[in-house]
């Protein structure tokens, strides 16, 4: 499989302000690693609310990680950061689609990553890994709908990947929280195409894992 990297790289490493257990942050570090984009990380003390400070809100008005800085450019939101990194440092036709239809199909999965994935498996994990309060029935229902639809999509496709015949931004956007769904009690047992898809991403050159947390008792 080809995994094109950019011809132009940042003059200095990009700074990724992150929490190492956040899938939104892992999406960004995984993408940079796959594309050999140099970066360093900073971890604000989120347990003590450093991300709620005025200084942090100057970086991201929503007071969340990830944030990147690249020279005098500061950007928040994992999918927005993807768009920046892809256009600045990677092959945009490869990662975001070569024609209008492919671009739309990839964008659809970016939307799913900010929608069903965030409200389902990522939210389920928030409870166990970070002690957050969640509405368990709706989180489980959203997760099961997502798993069912994604499994059907992959099983009906001739490709291992979500769009087209190679990895794209769609796969990287969906990977981190899907791979770590069992940490929120969202089991991937019975979803063989999703499991194969995770393995395909994990075998890419430059893949870096997100640190694991304990597997939670299955609730689906
Ligand atoms: N839409 C944002 C969501 C980012 C997000 O939810 N970040 C979480 C960590 S995974 C956060 O910073 N939570 C702290 C808080 O909201 O107080 C993205 O895609 O980057």
64 lines ligand 1 (CB under 6 A): yes
φ, ψ for residue 14, nearest 5 deg? -70, 145
Each residue of 17-70: pLDDT tens digit? 999 999 999 999 999 999 999 999 999 999 999 999 999 999 999 999 999 999
Query: Do 100 and 198 sit in the same domain of this protein?
Result: yes
Same domain, 87 and 118: no
Lowest mean pLDDT among 1-5, 147-151, 163-167, 194-198: 1-5
Integer Cα distance of 109 and 97 in angstroms:
12
CA–CA gap between residue 191 and residue 155 (Å, rounded): 10
**Sheet strand arrangement including 14-17:** 39-42, 14-17, 67-70, 73-76
Task: Tell me: do 28 and 112 sit in the same domain.
Answer: no
Domain count, the chain: 2
- The predicted pLDDT at position 1 comes to 41
Residue of higher predicted confidence among 30 and 7: 30
Q: Which residue among 64, 68, 121 is best mutated to probe the pocket of ligand 1, counting the most ligand atoms within 8 A of its Cβ?
A: 64
CATH number of the domain within which 28 lies: 3.40.30.10
Bond prior to 66 in cis (omega within 30° of 0):
yes
Is the distance from the beta carbon of residue 53 to the nearest atom of ligand 1 less than 6 Å? no
Residue 212 is assigned to a structural domain of this protein = no
In a domain, 213, yes or no: no
Are 25 and 66 in contact by the 8 Å Cβ rule? The answer is yes
83 lies in the same domain as 102: no
Residues 82 and 114 in one domain: no
Q: Which residue range is the domain that position 35 belongs to?
A: 14-92
Q: Give the tens place of pLDDT for each residue, 157-208.
A: 999 999 999 999 999 999 999 999 999 999 999 999 999 999 999 999 999 9
Residues 85 and 104 reside in one and the same domain:
no
Tell me which residue has its CA closest to atom 10 in ligand 1: 22
CA-CA distance, 184 to 118, in Å (whole number)? Answer: 12
For residues 106 and 198, membership in a common domain is answered with: yes
């Amino acid at each position: 499989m080809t995994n094109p990297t950019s011809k132009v790289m940042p003059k200095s490493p990009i700074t990724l302000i992150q929490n190492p257990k956040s899938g939104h942050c892992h999406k960004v570090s995984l993408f940079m690693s796959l594309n050999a984009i140099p970066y360093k990380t900073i971890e604000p003390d989120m347990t003590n609310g450093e991300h709620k400070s005025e200084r942090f809100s100057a970086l991201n008005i929503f007071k969340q990680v990830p944030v990147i800085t690249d020279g005098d450019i500061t950007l928040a939101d994992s999918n927005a950061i993807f768009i920046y990194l892809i256009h600045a440092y990677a092959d945009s036709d490869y990662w975001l689609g070569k024609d209008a239809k492919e671009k739309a199909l990839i964008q659809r999965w970016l939307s799913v990553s900010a929608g069903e994935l965030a409200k389902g498996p990522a939210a389920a994990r928030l409870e166990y890994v970070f002690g957050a309060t969640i509405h368990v029935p709706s989180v489980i229902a959203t997760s099961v709908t997502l798993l069912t639809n994604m499994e059907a999509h992959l099983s009906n496709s001739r490709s291992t990947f979500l769009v087209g015949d190679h990895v794209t931004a769609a796969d990287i956007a969906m990977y981190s929280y899907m791979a770590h769904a069992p940490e929120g009690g969202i089991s991937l047992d019975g979803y063989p195409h999703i499991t194969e898809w995770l393995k395909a991403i994990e075998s890419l050159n430059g893949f870096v894992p997100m640190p694991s947390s304990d597997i939670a008792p299955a609730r689906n």
